[in-house]
Amino acid sequence: MFLNKHKVETKNKINMNNIPKHIAIIMDGNGRWAKKRGLPRIYGHKAGIKTVKKVVKVCSDLSVKYLTLYAFSTENWKRPTDEVNGLMNLLIEYLSNEVDELNKKNVKVIFIGDLSKIPDKCNYEIFKAEEKTRNNTGLILNIAFNYSGRNDIINAVKKICDKVVSGQLKTSDINEDIINKNLYTYGQPDPDLILRSGGELRLSNFLIWQSAYSELWFSDVLWPDFNEDDLIEAIVEYQKRNRRFGGL
């Protein structure tokens, strides 16, 4: 168990009875991390994969049920072709190298986002990873890829409209539950904690419906430097929050 390897005071700070069920992360700062070292941006993303592995391990060890990572947004296509291709290749590398380890850890991998627009070779690895881990019952690892929160809502609206047009649903019956059921994250609880590394203070089109009552936590640490203790600090901070969901 990872906690044994950590400082005793860190372990004592965490309340194991109040672990967030769903943590979502905006992994920002890879480019700046690389720039500071005079390296091409893709090296920052490569280093960011190491952090992904650490964070998955901690969440799995702490019995967090859902972890959602923002790996590629629909807006990221605007980046230079080299970087976009580099990110596609890193995804392939991560999945092909890690799927056995993830499977051993009982992690279930799910992709959320528009996968119709990404290269076949990525989709092939995604399909293999999802298939291999389909029956796992441990951590659910959502990888948001070619993801946009607004598109998630637009797609849900389209699906719901089709049902209204075909007479399966009445407009007056549309409610939060029906919208939830038509989002990429259907069947999953909303994130309890959304954290963003890299110092920026925004959600950048990530889980914008699902984040209605999420606790937000921002870190100045650049994603490749983010480590187990930073994640624990975020969880400890979350545990101090008084969540009222609009009540008193």
Residues annotated as catalytic (active site), given as ranges: 28, 76
If DSSP codes are grouped into helix, strand and coil, which group holds residue 142? strand
Q: Does 76 bind ligand FPP (CB under 6 A)?
A: yes
**Listed ranges 43-51, 127-135, 155-163, 168-176: which one lies at the site for ligand FPP (CB under 6 A):** 43-51
**Listed ranges 15-23, 25-33, 113-121, 156-164: which one lies at the site for ligand FPP (CB under 6 A):** 25-33
What is the b/e burial string over 39-52, where b = at least 16 CB atoms within 10 angstroms of the residue's CB?
Answer: eebbbbbbbbbebb
Q: Which of 28, 190, 192, 230: binder of ligand FPP (CB under 6 A)? A: 28
Q: Do residues 55 and 72 lie in contact, with contact meaning Cβ atoms separated by under 8 Å?
A: no
- Is the CB of 71 or the CB of 195 nearer to ligand FPP? 71
Q: Closest residue to ligand FPP, Cβ-based?
A: 31
**Listed ranges 3-11, 45-53, 109-117, 210-218: which one lies at the site for ligand FPP (CB under 6 A):** 45-53
Instruction: Tell me the two tokens of residue 221.
Output: 């640490």
- Is the CB of 43 or the CB of 223 nearer to ligand FPP? 223
User: How many residues of this chain interact with ligand FPP, rule: CB under 6 A?
Assistant: 19
Q: Do residues 179 and 152 lie in contact, with contact meaning Cβ atoms separated by under 8 Å?
A: no
Is 237 annotated as ligand-binding? Answer: no
What is the b/e burial string over 16-34, where b = at least 16 CB atoms within 10 angstroms of the residue's CB?
Answer: eeebbebbbbbbbbbbbbb
Q: Does 144 bind ligand FPP (CB under 6 A)?
A: no
CA 191 – CA 212 distance, rounded (Å): 9
- Distinct helix (H) and strand (E) counts, the chain: 8, 6
Q: Does 149 bind ligand FPP (CB under 6 A)?
A: no
Q: Do residues 211 and 163 lie in contact, with contact meaning Cβ atoms separated by under 8 Å?
A: no
Q: Do residues 51 and 229 lie in contact, with contact meaning Cβ atoms separated by under 8 Å?
A: no
Give the interface with ligand FPP as residue ranges (CB under 6 A).
Answer: 27-32, 45, 48-49, 52, 69, 71, 76, 90-91, 94, 143, 198, 223
Residues annotated in a binding site for substrate: 29-33, 41, 45, 73-75, 77, 79, 196, 202-204
